[in-house]
Structure 1
Amino acid sequence: MEAFEHRLVVPRTARYYQIGDLATARQLWVVCHGYGQLAAYFIRHFRTVVEHAPGTVVVAPEGLSKFYLQGTSGRVGATWMTREDRLSEIEDYSTYLDQLISQLLAACPNPVTVTLLGFSQGATTLSRWLMRSAFLPAHLVLWAGTFPEDTPNEAARNLLTSLPRLSFVCGTADPYFPREKVDAQLLMLAEYGATPQELRFTGGHELNAELLRELTA
């Protein structure tokens, strides 16, 4: 007898971390971690941003799916999606991020400039969300991650040509981003009509404190 697939929408508890006070915020950064990371540890890299630019608040949402990084115990990581039931996972995290940004902006008594930064898998996550959302940030930073290739051309072009500022960042020794892959990513973005700012630093697949501080300008 054949088994038929069904879907049921259920409430979820989503976790995020915050540095800074929204009541006095002038800048808001929403930063999305990479595959296998947790928001509590990821957000620590952004303390330098808050210290460098008073009035900045950093919020790090966490992927909805958790797993053991090795075997069935020990360290735990989170992921934004996998290839299994991927469209549902994309819709779920897009709904989550829409609700989060609405809640954060509602808690800010004054207008804020919003920067979205996605690291590795987080870069693709933010890009997919923005193509489904009415929200548009002042600055999108794709850090050691790519804009998704498997996306409708019109949606990609509409988003990328509407962004006030787009930055592509990666380390000079990032094993996932040799020069040819960097060039291919920049070419794809340009073909969609984007004019990304390319920023490099000496290092690998990681964040860089000095460059993070520069991005607050």
Structure 2
Amino acid sequence: MTEPRFSTRHLRVTRTARYYTLGGGGERVDEVWFALHGYRQAARRFARRFEVLDAPERIVVVPEALSRFYVDPSPGRHGPEHRVGASWMTREDRDNEIADYVAYLDALAGEVGATAASAARRRVVLGFSQGAHTASRWVVLGRTNVHELVLWGAGLATDLTREALAAGLDGSQVTFVRGARDRFRDRREEEAQDALLEELGVTFRVLVHPGEHEIAPEPLLDIAEA
């Protein structure tokens, strides 16, 4: 039997993205943070981790990834009692997934900048777990200028080239936040990325907290007060 010949095609569509904000409201907003959640997380719950940063001069923006799904393993029909999480991408059609979320986050930064933070003296992008890879791709491949890239519970996306990293991180500081008891840590990858940034002349620092694969308030405040 002859296999059918399928042609792969793509169509660009408009999506409605959801995001949450925390803080701001002051006469002047000096800081804007973008906090990107990890795999299976939802932006609203993730945003609660940043309540310690709530301040009138600082706005925290928490975007939600465009691909949502039920995270509870229950079979059959799902109802309001079942949790929903989101994912930034999978390996399927990955190049378009990356291009789509980079464009989405650039558009979000433009909207926030137009209303609250166009002249902010400090712009921070923080990515947690899967969101760390998303954050690094956005900062390197997007058009949004960032003062600090915080990669929490994961590192740089490994598909970013040396040339792209050197250009995209020029003028930015990278902060790695690692949990001492994080079971997902890859020490070899950490050492390789530290060495790579040193070779490229990118300013970076490493913060280690005693916890697991989680956002902890103490290092979060350390970064905010730096």
What is the aligned length?
Answer: 214
Answer whether contact 2:172 2:203 (CA < 8 A) is retained.
Answer: no
% of aligned pairs identical? 39
Q: What aligned pairs does 1:67-82 form with structure 2 within 5 A after superposition?
A: 67-71=69-73, 73=78, 74-82=82-90
1:39 to 38, 43, 53: 43
Q: 1:30: how far off?
A: 0.5
CA shift in 2, pair 1:12/1:42, >3 Å: same
Q: Does structure 2 conserve the Cα–Cα contact (< 8 Å) formed by 1:172 and 1:201?
A: yes
Task: Measure how far apart 1:108 and its partner are.
Answer: 1.9
In structure 1, what residue type is equivalent to 2:18? R
Q: Unmatched 5+ residue regions in structure 2? A: none
- Structure 1's 139 and 66: CA in aligned 2 closer, same or farther, altered over 3 A? same
Instruction: Show the 5 A alignment for 1:147-166.
Output: 147-160=156-169, 162-166=170-174
Tell me the SS of whatever aligns to 2:224.
coil
- 1:4 to 1:177, Cα distance in 2 relative to 1, 3 A: same
CA RMSD of aligned residues (A): 1.7
Distance 1:6 1:178 in 2: 37
Is 1:209 aligned with 2:217?
yes
The CA deviation at 1:94 is 0.6
Shift of residue 177 of structure 1?
1.0
Task: Return the TM-score normalized by structure 1.
Answer: 0.92
Give the TM-score of the pair, scaled to structure 2.
0.88
User: Structure 1 segments of 4 or more deviating over 6 A?
Assistant: none
What's the CA shift for 1:109? 6.7
The 3 A distance-change label for structure 1 pair 178 and 81 is closer
Instruction: Note the 1:18-29 alignment, pairs <5 A.
Output: 18-21=21-24, 24=27, 25-29=29-33
Unaligned residue ranges in structure 1 (runs of 5+): none
Contact between 2:32 and 2:124, CA under 8 Å: does it hold in 1? yes
